[in-house]
Amino acid sequence: MIAPDRLTSLDVFRGLTVAAMIVVNNPGTWKAVYAPLRHADWHGWTPTDLVFPFFLFIVGVAIPLALGPRHESSPSARPVVVKIVRRSAIIFALGLVINIIANPSLATVRIPGVLQRIAVCYLAAALLFVWTGWRTQVAVTALALVGYWAAITLIPVPGFGPGDLGKEGNLAAWLDRLVLGGHIWRAGRVYDPEGILSTLPAIATTLLGVLAGERLRLGRPGAAVAREFFLAGLSAAAVGLAWGQWLPINKALWTSSYAVFTAGAALIAFAACYWLVEIRRIRWWTYPFVVLGVNALAAFFLSTLFTLWMLRDMHMGSDGKMHSMYAMFFEGFAPDWMPTATASLVWAVGYAAYWAFILSALQRRGIRLSV
């Protein structure tokens, strides 16, 4: 049985994922970004479309490792449930803070968001872990994936009919507009990529992580685990790609094929981290990612807040026009000899490294920012 202490390879995987989140969300300029660092416009996927499901999968893996020993040692599930609900509420509130700062108008402030989806998925998956066994979790995962597939392909949408998977005519987008009104993603206008109905298969992504975490906690550790995860990941990714022939892989809709494919890819990536860090003990490169992984939510929240502040802080440029501090910093940073897209990427990587440095300095002083 894995000790209840932190699993270094999971922290590394989480840190790599958070670093990728920061990089893809904070290019030097959105006018020059390499294609793999952008989301697919609608159907299809890019490496960037793997980042968020990887994080939700990691959230799931961590649930049995963190809550299992506490739940088993407690005569009542109530203390663990209270902790789960409290943590979920805080994460959801932090997401609302980001949205309010980005758009202070209460009439149009966005309600869904990345942290909000993490909060809901964590709440559902953690409560299922506490209250049910793995067989029920498998059944709920399958029901969520198949049920969502049936819903978005069979239920008719007023004005569009059944099976419309376009940006405006799909069931998930229609439900978000009906329930949330103007409180959806402004860039999407007619849909929200972290909306209500599409959270259902995202919960399934998290539950697939829970099942992997239970295998880690209750199984015998070793190279066999890495091989098992790698093969299972390959199988899931293949199933997701095959399913995508009937139900397109789509991040904004979080289609069931996308959920299965990305969970498989996450399992492959985690198997690689587990093999390198736990089996081969190759750890010389892991420190900055461990720091980001241990402080994952803080890294995402603080980096997002700082970016929002720099984007809103306007100054007069040498051209006599108003520019954000963010744009002026990048303009001063980008060397003339470097392609703009390359400079934009270097800026983003440097920004992620900056937050790893800040959180490392805090950690060395015994300060850990966690929820």
Judge whether 32 lies within some domain. yes
Q: Are residues 344 and 236 in the same domain?
A: no
Q: Are residues 269 and 311 in the same domain?
A: no
Going by pLDDT thresholds of 50, 70 and 90, the confidence category of residue 316 is low
Q: Are residues 268 and 350 in the same domain?
A: no
Q: Are residues 316 and 256 in the same domain?
A: no
Going by pLDDT thresholds of 50, 70 and 90, the confidence category of residue 366 is confident
DSSP H or E run through 42 = none
* pLDDT score at 253: 97
Please give the sequence-ordered ranges of beta strands (E in DSSP) within 217-331, or none if there are none: 314-316, 322-324
Q: Are residues 234 and 172 in the same domain?
A: yes
Judge whether 218 lies within some domain. yes
Q: Are residues 132 and 257 in the same domain?
A: yes
Judge whether 47 lies within some domain. no
Q: Are residues 192 and 100 in the same domain?
A: yes
Task: List the domain range (segments joined by +) for residue 10.
Answer: 1-38+285-371
* pLDDT score at 318: 59
Domain count, the chain: 2
* pLDDT score at 4: 41
Could you read off the pLDDT of 5-16 as tens digits, one per residue? 579 999 999 999
Asked if 347 and 303 count as a contact pair (C-beta separation under 8 A), the reply is no
Judge whether 68 lies within some domain. yes
Q: Are residues 70 and 209 in the same domain?
A: yes
Nearest to 198 by CA among 161, 158, 247: 247
Judge whether 49 lies within some domain. no
R_g of the chain computed on alpha carbons: 21
Q: Alpha-carbon torsion 89, 95, 98, 102, what sign? A: negative
Could you read off the pLDDT of 240-298 as tens digits, one per residue? 999 999 999 999 999 999 999 999 999 999 999 999 999 999 999 999 999 999 999 99
Last residue of a domain, one of 281, 299, 320: 281
Judge whether 262 lies within some domain. yes
Please give the sequence-ordered ranges of beta strands (E in DSSP) within the chain, or none if there are none: 314-316, 322-324
Whole-number Å distance between alpha carbons of 270 and 266:
6
Judge whether 45 lies within some domain. no
Asked if 356 and 12 count as a contact pair (C-beta separation under 8 A), the reply is no
Q: Are residues 247 and 289 in the same domain?
A: no
* pLDDT score at 2: 37
Q: Are residues 126 and 144 in the same domain?
A: yes
Residue 89 token pair: 């509420």
Q: Are residues 261 and 291 in the same domain?
A: no
Nearest to 123 by CA among 50, 202, 192: 202
Last residue of a domain, one of 281, 303, 331: 281
Could you read off the pLDDT of 122-148 as tens digits, one per residue? 999 999 999 999 999 999 999 999 999
Could you read off the pLDDT of 33-81 as tens digits, one per residue? 999 999 999 999 999 999 999 999 999 999 999 998 777 666 778 889 9
DSSP conformational letter for 314:
E
Could you read off the pLDDT of 201-254 as tens digits, one per residue? 999 999 999 999 999 988 777 889 999 999 999 999 999 999 999 999 999 999
Query: Above pLDDT 70, what percent of the chain?
Result: 95
pTM metric for this prediction: 0.94
Last residue of a domain, one of 236, 251, 281: 281
Q: Are residues 162 and 307 in the same domain?
A: no
* pLDDT score at 5: 54
- Judged against a pLDDT cut of 50, whether residue 28 lies above it is answered with yes
Whole-number Å distance between alpha carbons of 73 and 182:
46
Judge whether 230 lies within some domain. yes
Going by pLDDT thresholds of 50, 70 and 90, the confidence category of residue 368 is confident
